Amino acid sequence: MAEIFPHTSLRRSPYYDATIAEGVSVMHPYNRMLMPLGYGDREEEYWRLIDGVSMWDVGGERQIQLKGPDAARLAQILSPRDLSRCVEGQGKYVALCDHAGTIINDPIILKIADDCFWFSIADSDVGLWSRCVAAERGLDVEVTEPDVSPLAVQGPMAEDVVASIFGDWVRELRYFWFGDAEINGIPLKVARSGWSKQGGFEIYLMDGTRGSELWNIVKEAGQPWGIAPGYPTPSERIESGLLSWAGDCDAKTNPFEVRLGRFVDLDVPDDVIGIAALRQIAAEGAKRHQLGVVMDGEEPMANSGHWFDIVSDGKKVGDLTNNTWSYKLRRNIGFGLVSSDCQIGDQVAVLRDGESIPAKLVQIPFREQDR
């Protein structure tokens, strides 16, 4: 294999040294920063997330900060979800769309202050987009990528671990809400959030020179609960139905197609980007929808990183987007972005490398009885 030249597209997260010391075995770039994708034993890492607690370097979930007198206006113009009642210390999940109503990112938006918002982004350039829109709309707001890097603590034991570090106030946090914290003088925010449905927190590190220190504090505190390193776990994420924007959407996907219609408020002001298109799509009905796909076969398939056709009666009806081995169902499962004519219970086939794999369409989240 050729040498990979270090590049600004392969930035190191503040937790890089710590994850190397832990023996990280796979990484991929996310927002031009390396993000761990495993430490060698996928199944053990999955069950630790389901039954215990796991800590993840998700520093690649970069923050785009909007700050200034027009920060709230810009945040709303970018978001087809009503932010008018969002208060300081609250976060909201938003599908950012372009003018055609196509999803271009699905950040968690954190309201830091009346004149300051963070967009905790998926893997696309919301910084450039926001700067452009701010300038084109003549807004008084500065867009930056501050030195902020989330560390996720996920799993049913996460609350005990995080409370043991910061105190019982974290137990009272509502979903996506956050508060300021500090440990050994390290500036942090602690939020109840994270890219799993097993419960947990994200600790937003606000000083990138202190990543190893924070990592070790959390690791130490988690010992009684058996904490160990992990990563956003595809098996759990897909079973639970969480979207991965880059992997599950194409250049035409709108929020209604991928179960994000509940986060679109059609009555936001007319100057919100994409809202006119979204109103039209809502009125006409989406042409595709996202359903679960359970494939026949008892053997985990290698993860290919690209999509496969889903066919019914020899005709293409959609795409299998992300797929994974499900430890819960003991089947290969994935998200199907399929024609709205397809329904739960339909028998279909997935075309993979010239092979036709029988599969069925099921509800999301996946249930063990649907295997």
> Closer to ligand THG at the Cβ: 203 or 350?
203
Residue 184 φ/ψ region, left for φ over 0, alpha for ψ in the -120 to 50 degree band, beta for the rest: left
Residue numbers at the binding site for ligand THG (CB under 6 A): 61, 93, 106-108, 120-122, 150, 193-195, 202, 242-243
Residues 105 and 245 sit within 8 Å (Cβ to Cβ): yes
> Closer to ligand THG at the Cβ: 80 or 350?
80
The SS3 assignment for 22 reads coil
> Closer to ligand THG at the Cβ: 19 or 154?
154
Instruction: Output the smallest distance, CB 255 to ligand THG, in A.
Output: 11
Burial-class residue 115 by CB neighbours within 10 Å (0-12, 13-18, 19+). middle
Instruction: Output the smallest distance, CB 165 to ligand THG, in A.
Output: 18
Instruction: Output the smallest distance, CB 2 to ligand THG, in A.
Output: 30
Instruction: Output the smallest distance, CB 93 to ligand THG, in A.
Output: 4
> Closer to ligand THG at the Cβ: 75 or 243?
243
DSSP annotation of 11: B
Instruction: Output the smallest distance, CB 325 to ligand THG, in A.
Output: 21
Instruction: Output the smallest distance, CB 236 to ligand THG, in A.
Output: 12
> Closer to ligand THG at the Cβ: 108 or 227?
108
> Closer to ligand THG at the Cβ: 194 or 234?
194
Looking at the DSSP bridge assignments, the partners of residue 111 are: 117
Residues 122 and 56 sit within 8 Å (Cβ to Cβ): no
Residue 91 φ/ψ region, left for φ over 0, alpha for ψ in the -120 to 50 degree band, beta for the rest: beta
H or E segment and range at residue 248: helix 245-248
The packing angle between helices 158-166 and 211-222, to 10°, is 120
Q: Which residue carries 């053997």 as its tokens?
A: 299
